[in-house]
Structure 1
Amino acid sequence: MTSRAIGRILFSNIQNKATLAKLIQNVRLYSVPAENFEFIKVSKTGANNNVGIIQLNRPKALNALCNGLMTEVSKALDHLEADKSVGAIIITGSEKAFAAGADIKEMKDNKYSDCISGNFLEHWSRVAQTYKPVIAAVNGYALGGGCELAMMCDIIYAGDSAKFGQPEILIGTIPGAGGTQRLTRSVGKSKAMEIVLTGCQVPAVEAEKMGLVSKVFPADKLLDETVKLAEKIASNSQLTNAMAKEAVNVAYETTLREGLRFEKRMFHGTFGTKDQKEGMAAFAEKRKPNFTNE
């Protein structure tokens, strides 16, 4: 694959050739054998080729989330979860937009009966159900469904020009894919109310301060830094990663008493794995562990 072809995979909106060349040098990309996708691009990256990348790819619509795109994301996650070499997954967009919202033209004529009978947006939660760690790399707009998609991920890294928001109130509706729920748990009631009831956009730096975003980087460094994080996570036992992820999600969704009980049981459960034995043996022997995900 040529460097120009590689550049088109993730950096089609970057005009600075020097910046593009540097990013290509730092991020090795491999195509993922899968069906042809219309609205996304899927690849693998990292020194050990163990990080999956899903890039939203509807540039003319600023990556607006249509039903077809979200169906493709679900299929891509199926592929990457089944790939034993992949230890972490990144979801990203373009430098201009992670996803500027849901596709309003697609949903504007929906009726209440259609939404109920078809359980509208139900399959969008596939991202949150992924057992492998998922990181959102957000540049540009992450509004409405885009913000909700980012919040379905386990960690959010943002470029310094990123903007988050839930502007549904401005078009006569409310968030429907977790915006009122995940946002409140992330930033608290007052901030969530302000964002949801005004539809205002939140800059990346402010989003970091309120706890919505883990870290903020210059836009042209974002993907590189996200890949570094994903590689670090992917170097752990995939089995233990999944157990730790589930324990944190229980803390996010239940009481402290129930969370502590669940954590203790998951901790006990690690002692039934080969990776726990290998990890502790490697620590005692002062060497790097060789995890087999068993």
Structure 2
Amino acid sequence: MTLHIEERDDRVVATLDRPEKRNAIDQSMVNALHELCTILEESPRTLILTGSDGVFAAGADIAQLRDRTAEDARRGINATVFIRIHELPMPVIAAIDGYALGGGAELAYAADIRIATPSLRIGNPEPGLGIIAAAGATWRLPEIVGDARASDLLLTGRTLDAEDALRWGLVSALHPAAELLPAAHGIADRIAANDALATQHTKRALRTPRAGHPSVELELQAELFESPEKHRRMTEFLERKSR
């Protein structure tokens, strides 16, 4: 088993679990992530992604990458599953300890929220291996940290430490290793306290290209304005305020 899954009513914790390979992403892990996406597309819940043994993912499995062909590249083996993760209905939280390199970094970039430990080392060394970061880094990273910093990171292949990743906005918070998963659950708790449909619609609006705004918000808001949950929550708010 390369992906350990813990299911709860409102969230799923998925732990990358190939400690002997520093959780390198191989085909079996890609398959397991696809299976998880199918579950979460049918039954939307917040996803917490993390890694075992003090490592998030040290990259894609180089032994497999070395033997892949041009046709394999065109299939987008990692890119396809990372897109599914990025487009899941509910938020995805990456709780990153230690190395998140290459494909591991691109998996983290696919999350909505990223938190890390002080031991974080994140980057895309692919050019040093004769390839490019082709599983999302070249379009997601500029959206996260801006064009200049994305170019710096991707063209040099250098690795950021935790403080630089926080300063750049690549992660939103740092926590000691023992507090990382509890912090991720704390974020999931705050998400769970909100209306699930409003959360899903917020994520849809955030993921809509600029040309789709503001019409996308207006349509999503129109649906929410007619929802019983909106009426219930606002009524409770007004009743609490009147006491």
TM-score class, shorter-chain normalisation, is: over 0.9
The alignment status of 1:148 with 2:111, answered yes or no, reads no
Selected match of 1:245 from 196, 203, 211: 203
Aligned to 2:138: 180
1:167 aligns with 2:125: yes
- Could you tell me whether the CA contact under 8 Å between 2:76 and 2:135 is conserved in 1? no
Question: Partner of 2:20 in structure 1?
Answer: 60
Counterpart CA distance in 2 for 1:119 and 1:94 is 25
Q: Which amino acid aligns with 1:89?
A: L
| Aligned-pair identity (%) | 32
- Indicate conservation of the 8 Å contact 1:95/1:140, yes or no: no
2-side partners of 1:217 and 1:122: how far apart?
29
Residues paired across the two proteins, number: 240
- Cα deviation for residue 196 of structure 1 reads 0.6
Find the partner of 2:11 among 25, 40, 51: 51
Counterpart selection for 2:59 from 92, 96, 101: 101
- Shift, 1:261, TM fit: 2.1
The structural deviation recorded for 1:81 is 4.5
String of CA shifts for 1:62-101, please: whole Å, max 9, x gaps.
Answer: 11111210210121233344447xx421010025210111
User: Are the aligned partners of 2:78 and 2:103 in contact in 1 as well (CA < 8 Å)?
Assistant: no
Using the alignment, how far apart are the partners of 1:133 and 1:186 within structure 2?
16
Residue 284 of structure 1: CA displacement?
Answer: 1.1
Do structure 1's residue 268 and structure 2's residue 222 form an aligned pair?
yes
Q: Are 1:160 and 1:218, in contact at CA under 8 Å, matched by a contact in 2?
A: yes
The answer as to whether partners of 2:101 and 2:122 remain within 8 angstroms in 1 is yes
For 1:254, the aligned partner's letter is R
The aligned residue for residue 283 of structure 1 is 237
Listed as ranges, the gaps of 5+ residues in structure 2 are none
TM-score (norm 2): 0.92
Mapped partners of 1:204, 1:119: distance in 2: 29
| Structure 1, unaligned runs of 5 or more | 1-37, 288-294
TM-score by length of 1: 0.77
User: Superposed, which structure 2 residues align to 1:31-50 within 5 Å?
Assistant: 38-44=1-7, 49-50=9-10
Contact persistence 1:51–1:231 (CA under 8 A): no
Deviations 1:189-217 (A, max 9, x none): 11111111111110122111111111111
Letter in 2 for 1:275: E
Aligned residue type for 1:281: T
**How far does residue 176 in structure 1 lie from its aligned partner after superposition?**
0.9
Match 2:29 to one of 69, 80, 99: 69
Shift of 1:126: 1.6
Say if 1:168 and 1:175, in contact at 8 Å, map to a contact too.
yes
For 2:164 and 2:72, the matched residues in 1 are separated by 38
Deviation at 1:123, TM superposition (A): 2.9
Per-residue CA deviations over 1:143-168 (Å, capped at 9, x if unaligned) read 11111101111100111111110110
Change over 3 Å in CA distance of 1:147–1:239 after alignment to 2: same
Partner letter of residue 197 of structure 1? L
User: C-alpha separation between the residues in 2 aligned to 1:122 and 1:164?
Assistant: 18
Whichever residue aligns with residue 191 of structure 2, its letter is I
When the two chains are superposed, the root-mean-square deviation of aligned CA atoms in Å is 1.7
Measured in 2, the distance between the counterparts of 1:261 and 1:79 equals: 30
